[in-house]
Structure 1
């Protein structure tokens, strides 16, 4: 049994890898047998542990799977080849898209230069100038996509992406906490409970959605990330929620997302709507009929539709 892992080696358990990459444990075991990758070592207890370089490669593989590649076609590639594929596809996507706003380009350059102090100042300056809605939809969201693409292309270190995420989260929380909570006259405002499923640890999309919901006059309560299903249900009852809003990153395993949504629908009160957004394949390809899937640009329309359907109801 191979247990000769250097004492200072960074190794991840199979649960860590599943959480970090969005690849299910079963998938990792099947690939190990079928493609001879990954090739985990064993710890003193006989459990699989994955060296950092294999986890990095698995992240790249997952990124390319999300772009439509088949595992058998790419798993045999080196990390450098996978990065080249990711860069090629990101470049093709950018070629068909409108050029990013100058603010977005400027913030991306600051992120790539790891100048987080200047990036924080730029974001804080843009927030009052643009207003919260435009800040989220025209700056934060496209910038986050570009940061992800830049990381996938190998043009941004992992720590740089983490620094960016933490910084933007602080800016968004500041904006959310600064918003007045005075009730608006007129149609009722939905009570929205925001969270992620237990397997989803990424919360940036959740914060962006919360900011937009608040900007449109909704009453929001956030549980943060990785909330157990029964706790979501209990919180929705306690807060008298009209909507449970869930965020899914591209790292979320599609099967786990679909199963979690189905179980949540079965447990939650019938009158509580499920809304979901994000880049998870479970939402992009075959979204469940009982879930309203929307992107950030559709938040205002979704709330307007909810108000039309509940016109005359008590606020």
Structure 2
């Protein structure tokens, strides 16, 4: 049973679970599961009885997320004492031998079929179970076939929003909970990327002189590009002229590419790997290097976790936020004309 917050704890500040999800990149389901299984985090309750988390717990959750991205299993790190956790963080940061020797090198667990179906139920999408089964069975042919059929039956936009987006969350949750290995997450990403690229290539080209011209990329430290491709698909369907640089573009090169491409919008994607402070600092830097008439959009889990606005940057917390942002941009451009 979670206890109500003491007055001194309330004064120190507490985060609701939705804010913790944005700030750490850990889903609400994962936070509740860790609470039950490992005894951490230990949220209090606000006046309405809702979970709230102290800032020190949020900071520790960020550390745990970082270790998990480095390859550690939740069962190995969530219950660590603060000193042991800090030592492991330092080892991972330095790339020393401890980081490798304590990493989770394990055989695949036997509960494959039941496990992935359980994940589909957690996210409330039983329809996702067959896709997860294909990943668990290491069946890329079957996975591509299912994705292609979904694309044909739903159309590109609905497939992105109703199939790929929730599937991304389910796969990420399965990995965090130790049901998928890193290579299985990569298998999924490669299959989805191939299917989406083919679908985007089939979208009729935007008319000459059309707008906006959108440059898409990620920061140099960001290797995940699936969210970028999903955004490109939705933009292409709306007649935008897109130039994707892929992932890992240095800040100065983003500015140079935007000038060379005559971009109207620079769209950046963040998976949640980078800490919010680094995302915020990078956005400030890129914004300062671009002419004021070029809009900057930031999307993905890492951008959604920003607790403070960045001047001159439009944050798209969900893919569904893009169409109204695009409509507003076009309305403002027409007003200027």
Contact 2:219 2:251 survives alignment (8 Å): yes
Tell me the equivalent position of 1:262: 284
From 175, 179, 191, the equivalent of 1:151 is 175
Give CA deviations for 1:126-151 in whole Å, capped at 9, x if unaligned.
11211111010000111011000011
Q: Does 1:279 align with 2:301?
A: yes
Give the distance between the partners of 2:149 and 2:95, measured in 1 at CA: 49
Contact 2:280 2:306 survives alignment (8 Å): no
Tell me the equivalent position of 1:239: 261
Give the distance between the partners of 2:87 and 2:95, measured in 1 at CA: 17
Contact 1:255 1:282 survives alignment (8 Å): no
Tell me the equivalent position of 1:48: 96
From 114, 125, 147, the equivalent of 1:100 is 125
CA-CA distance at 1:195 after TM superposition = 0.3
Tell me the equivalent position of 1:304: 327
- Equivalent residue pairs, number: 250
Q: How does 1:82-93 map to 2 (within 5 A)?
A: none
Q: Alignment partner of 2:248: what SS?
A: coil
Contact 2:223 2:248 survives alignment (8 Å): yes
Contact 1:265 1:274 survives alignment (8 Å): yes
Contact 2:211 2:241 survives alignment (8 Å): yes
Q: Alignment partner of 2:298: what SS?
A: strand
- TM-score using structure 2 length: 0.66
Q: Does 1:250 align with 2:298?
A: no
Contact 2:88 2:99 survives alignment (8 Å): no
- TM-score using structure 1 length: 0.70
Gap runs ≥5 in structure 1: 1-16, 23-30, 58-86
Structure 1 ranges of 4+ moved more than 6 A: 31-34
Gap runs ≥5 in structure 2: 1-65, 72-81, 106-114
Contact 1:38 1:54 survives alignment (8 Å): no
Give the distance between the partners of 1:39 and 1:255, measured in 2 at CA: 18
Q: Alignment partner of 2:299: what SS?
A: strand
CA-CA distance at 1:191 after TM superposition = 0.7
Q: Alignment partner of 1:194: what SS?
A: strand
Contact 1:202 1:225 survives alignment (8 Å): yes
Tell me the equivalent position of 1:138: 162
Contact 1:258 1:282 survives alignment (8 Å): no
Tell me the equivalent position of 1:8: none
